[in-house]
Amino acid sequence: MSTLEMSNPAALPADWRDFLALTKPRVMYLVVFTGLCGLLVAPVQLPFVLGFSAILCIALGAGACGALNQWYEADIDAKMRRTASRPLPAGRMVPESALHFGVGLGFFSVLLMGLATNWFAAILLAASILFYVLIYTVWLKPRTAQNIVIGGAAGAFPPLIGWVAATGHMSVLPLLLFAVIFLWTPPHFWALSLFVRSDYAAAGIPMLPVVAGFESTRRQVLLYSLPMAASALAPWALGLAGVLYGASATVLSFVFLVLAARVAASGATEPKDMTAEKHLFAYSVFYLFALFAVLVADHFLA
Amino acid sequence: MTTPEDEIIRSRQRERARVTALLLGAFVVLLFFITIAKTGINW
């Protein structure tokens, strides 16, 4: 129990479920999945327990990012409907607990990664945590509408870390997977921010729809989808993946571009009318899951 | 004499201690298997 809690008898020790909520487990699925895919498509097979440890470390690192993000943005979260019930803005936890938990989890995940796999993977994991917390959360997010573009790199690290955990070195394929997630992040988040624009505006976060308006954001969604589709096809074009992946990536990316074009053509201004944006957002999650799943299937069937 | 608030605090502390113990136990087991895998011994 912290000193603050002791000096305030009204404050209860935070429930363990609130610590779990700090790690944003629902957001973690995609991080863990892409990290696992990076590990599975690597040419070196790790013993099960080491592979499991590597994925666990990626999950714990993502959890540390979530906790530190919620600690730093507690005042912003309190202003948004979507986040007002989180442990810190709801007053169920003192900020120090979240900070200590996040820093501890981050250190632990990096240390365990280094001991279980290799220190190159541990350094990449540490870099991804620091990038997300310092570059994205602290520096870019409150200052620029390009926050998602550069910050997207933080979410693109997992397949890279998974690959390096297995092989100990970098290669072209994991860098392409990094590029796919990096270029996927802007259309994915901008589709969401179009229909929750009022939340971001109320919290003073300069998301693109708040700063540049709907029309410009919709155009950017389509523009970023084009290089994203190209990078998704690149592993096949460069001979790093087979026909199954190539055909699937073509179909999946084509549907993504059609939905992005529908967003670009939409003129809706009310969230309830933004079906094109909601469809693209939902599909974008499926797209990334499907693309990486097909890559793994292609790797094992080839 | 314990107040209802003390009781809630104690119960939260017990729950947290239980979860921490479980996680520490799992960590010890994981470290054991990592060590076995790193030594490369085939059992």
CB contact under 8 A, A13 and B12: yes
Q: Is B13 on the interface with A (CB under 8 A)?
A: yes
CB contact under 8 A, B12 and A53: no
> What does the DSSP 8-state code read for residue A13?
P
- All residues of chain A having their beta carbon less than 8 Å from the beta carbon of residue B34 are 49-50, 53, 115-116
Lowest mean pLDDT among A7-21, A168-182, A265-279: A7-21
CB contact under 8 A, A12 and B16: no
Domain edges within chain A: 14-169, 171-302
CB A75: neighbour CB atoms within 10 A? 11
Question: B4-36: per-residue pLDDT in tens?
Answer: 888 888 988 999 999 999 999 999 999 999 999
Question: A79-94: per-residue pLDDT in tens?
Answer: 888 889 999 999 999 9
CA distance B13 to chain A (A): 7
For residue A54, give the nearest of A174, A161, A132 by alpha carbon: A161
Fold classified for A14-169? Tetracycline Repressor; domain 2 (1.10.357)
For residue A112, give the nearest of B13, B23, B6, B17 by alpha carbon: B23
Q: Give the closest of B12, B13, B34 to A53, CB-based.
A: B34
C-alpha span between A210 and A192 (Å, rounded): 12
Instruction: Provide the ipTM.
Output: 0.85
In this model, does residue A26 exceed pLDDT 90? Answer: no
> Residue B26: which domain range?
1-43
CB contact under 8 A, A49 and B13: no
pLDDT at B43: 53
pLDDT at A207: 86
Report residue A246's pLDDT band, with 50, 70 and 90 as the boundaries.
very high
Domain count within chain B: 1
pLDDT at A6: 43
DSSP per position, B2-39: --HHHHHHHHHHHHHHHHHHHHHHHHHHHHHHHHHHHH
